[in-house]
Chains A and B, each alone.
Chain A
Amino acid sequence: RKEVEQDPGPFNVPEGATVAFNCTYSNSASQSFFWYRQDCRKEPKLLMSVYSSGNEDGRFTAQLNRASQYISLLIRDSKLSDSATYLCVVNMNNYGQNFVFGPGTRLSVLP
């Protein structure tokens, strides 16, 4: 089993749609969790950190379920500019030393 797994994608959705991405991780001792966004041929950039209580940033909502070792990202009212690959990232040890990336889920928002 891979350490971090994500929905395979791609997701093709119309503008204004709501889309949800799922991620699971294998190490129950993982301490911190993130969603990164990567545009084509660019470096990954932090979209948001994921906290146990769940957190929201505008149209984006992240949830963490430690018992199920599951992370989600919800995008509401999707925009053309949301088209990118979304990477689930987990710090796999207690010392925050090792950021492990999922394979990414590609999103295309269509006009």
Chain B
Amino acid sequence: DTGVSQNPRHKITKRGQNVTFRCDPISEHNRLYWYRQTLGQGPEFLTYFQNEAQLEKSRLLSDRFSAERPKGSFSTLEIQRTEQGDSAMYLCASSPGGVNTEAFFGQGTRLTVV
């Protein structure tokens, strides 16, 4: 499978716990995005990497959220001290360089904080 891969697909965690999600982009794509989506809403931009550099972060990304892409390949998104409001689908997407190229999405990680 050469698409964007995300793990785990589902995560249930207790409030206050830390969680980490992984995204493996399409191998030749240098751009990687994280989005959050809640029911009935479109995906909301969280952060963006070009290779290993994190170039943009949304104000939605509080201090409890951190993302890395250490070697410019896979990326991780960590949420510390989870809150019930963090429950959402976390989507990763990748794209090659260029202005008019689309983003390809993984199947997402559904987080439920209880």
Q: Is there an interface contact between A101 and B101, defined as CB atoms closer than 8 Å?
A: no
Q: Is there an interface contact between A32 and B99, defined as CB atoms closer than 8 Å?
A: yes
CA distance A4 to B31 in the complex (A): 22
| A interface, size bucket | 20 to 34
Chain B: interface residue total (CB-CB under 8 A): 26
What's the count of A-B pairs with C-beta under 8 Å? 55
The interface stretch among B11-19, B39-47, B59-67 is B39-47
B:87-113 near A, CB below 8 Å: 91, 93, 98-108
Q: A43-B91, A102-B42 are in contact. Are A97 and B102 (CB under 8 A)?
A: no
For residue A96, CB closer than 8 A to chain B, the reply is yes
For residue B33, CB closer than 8 A to chain A, the reply is yes
Q: Is there an interface contact between B102 and A46, defined as CB atoms closer than 8 Å?
A: yes
Q: Which residues from chain B contact A101 at a C-beta distance below 8 Å?
A: 35, 42-45
Q: Name the residue of chain A whose CB is nearest to the CB of B58.
A: A98
Interchain nearest-CB distance for A84 vs B (Å): 13
Q: Is there an interface contact between B101 and A96, defined as CB atoms closer than 8 Å?
A: yes
Q: Is there an interface contact between A49 and B102, defined as CB atoms closer than 8 Å?
A: yes
Binding site for A on B (CB under 8 A): 31, 33, 35, 40-45, 48, 50, 55-56, 91, 93, 98-108
